[in-house]
Amino acid sequence: MTWRVTPLALSLVTLAGVILSLAVLTARADLFMAAVPLALALGTLAVRAPAPDYAVSYAISSDRLWEGDTVTVTVEVTARSAIPFMELLEPLAAGGAQVSGRPRAVMALRAGQTERWRYDITYPVRGVHDLGTLIVRVRDRWGLCSWERRHVERRRVRVHPRPTPLRSLPRPRRTQTSVGDYVAPVYGEGLEPGDIRQFAPGDRVRQVNWRASLRLGTLYVTQQHRERNADVVLMVDTLAQVGTASTTTLDASVRATSSLATAYLARKDRVGLIVYGGLIDWVRPGSGRPHHERLADALLRADVVFTYVAKDLKLVPPRVLPSHAFVIAVTPLLDRRFTQAVLDLVARGFDLAVLVVSPVELLRAALSAAPVDQLACRLWTLERRARLAEIRRHGLPVVEWNPAQSLEAAVTGLDRRRYRAMAAR
């Protein structure tokens, strides 16, 4: 706690000096009397008051938020000794905006009294934000000296990208052994009817197809397709990004990845993540709510780290990228190293789809309507179209998504492209 004389005290000393000088110069006794209140107030500085005794507690309503959500901060001050004037301030870090309440609080407390200060902060963009650093300043009863203290009670708020609900998703070609939502080609326990065959010992009576059995004179059973889950690996390109500070291609990619992860996990699939950039980060495929939080945390860390080093997917362990996994690459296609990595996966026989986040539309929104800018955007669009066509020639299903438009439409288009690419092969 730092004790200091306030600027007000120094102003009063100056003013007292001026009064007394004027009193001497004008030889007016009443002016001496005008200096008495100032001298009395300043005289309190000679006796140092004891430091204020108080306790501050800091609480937030939630430590995990979606983009655009609000967190309520509650600061509670309990005074153990009387506090004539207390100022509280929490400097807000970039990324957050106060939506209700005031950025500072002033309170006067009696001994034993408790007072609360509440305000709401909203975070429009994903990220990890630290809260809980308060600057507390207590003034004495005349405002001539103050005690300052930095109260640190760190609270971390994780703001996750808000997932878009997706009803239709690209369907994985290969399924795994666990129970899920996809109809597998293999027969066994399930709901979807498949072929019929002759009754064999061990078959259940309820599987008997009575219509076929009566027609053919011997017992036949209906086989059922098993319902299985799939491994889906989402690969996010963090090699480069474009856009404004609030909306970049990486933000859009992360939002799309989060939406896909949420939708696939809801279908009981195992979802993995590879953040492919200057630093490669990954999460092994898994399912369930804790795994969803693991994926969300990994997506929060996704950021562009510049490097000349060409990353290789051989670094990724096979458990993270299982051979039967369905890989969805989310990329703005700004760096050729990512294209190379995707083509490498195709060559290794992976079931793969590419969702390309269009950087042109993001940039066009940030640029002026000047003809030169618009011309540059049109040229860039043409260049990218040629590049996408080149990638499609390798048999890759690629769909371009404008972040301003629906992700659902782009994802549906991705499934269509995959079937077309498969038919072409």
Partner 1 sequence: MSWLPVAVLALMLFGMTLRVAPYEAVLEIGLVALLLVATGLATPWRWPMISAACLFLTNHALALWGTDAPVDIVGAAVFGVALLFLLQLSDLGRGMRRASVGAGVTRSLLARLLVFAVMTLIATTAGMAIARPLSAAVPAVLAPLLATAGALGVVTALALAATGAGRRARAGPSP
| Contacts of partner 1 in 66-85 (CB under 8 A) | 84-85
Shorter beta-carbon distance to partner 1: residue 31 or 388: 31
Q: Six-digit token pair at 129?
A: 């934000």
Hunting for tokens 């326990």 — which residue is that?
Answer: 189
Q: Is 300 left (phi over 0), alpha (psi -120 to 50) or beta?
A: alpha
Minimum Å gap between C-beta 61 and partner 1 is 17
Residue 33 sits in the site that holds partner 1 (CB under 8 A): yes
Only one of the segments 17-25, 215-223, 372-380, 399-407 lies at the binding site for partner 1 (rule: CB under 8 A); that segment is: 17-25
Residue 114 sits in the site that holds partner 1 (CB under 8 A): no
Residue 50 sits in the site that holds partner 1 (CB under 8 A): yes
Residue 30 sits in the site that holds partner 1 (CB under 8 A): yes
Residue 1 sits in the site that holds partner 1 (CB under 8 A): yes
Q: What is the largest CA-CA distance in the chain?
A: 135
Residue 256 sits in the site that holds partner 1 (CB under 8 A): no
Residue 142 sits in the site that holds partner 1 (CB under 8 A): yes
CA distance 275 to 45: 61
Residue 210 sits in the site that holds partner 1 (CB under 8 A): no
Residue 91 sits in the site that holds partner 1 (CB under 8 A): no
CA distance 379 to 372: 11
| Contacts of partner 1 in 339-358 (CB under 8 A) | none
| Contacts of partner 1 in 146-185 (CB under 8 A) | 147
Q: List helix spans (H) across 57-189.
A: none
Residue 120 sits in the site that holds partner 1 (CB under 8 A): no
Q: C-alpha distances in angstroms, 348 versus 299, 341, 343, 389?
A: 26, 11, 9, 21
DSSP string over 74-92: EEEEEESS-EEEEEEE-PP
Minimum Å gap between C-beta 91 and partner 1 is 14
| Contacts of partner 1 in 217-246 (CB under 8 A) | none
Only one of the segments 36-44, 174-182, 352-360, 379-387 lies at the binding site for partner 1 (rule: CB under 8 A); that segment is: 36-44
CA distance 167 to 179: 20
Residue 36 sits in the site that holds partner 1 (CB under 8 A): yes
Q: C-alpha distances in angstroms, 417 versus 103, 383, 413?
A: 52, 21, 6
Per 3-state DSSP, the chain is made up of helix, strand and coil in percentages (nearest 5) of 35, 35, 30
Residue 117 sits in the site that holds partner 1 (CB under 8 A): yes
Residue type (1 letter), 387: R
Minimum Å gap between C-beta 32 and partner 1 is 8
The site for partner 1, by CB under 8 A, has a size of: 72
Residue 99 sits in the site that holds partner 1 (CB under 8 A): no
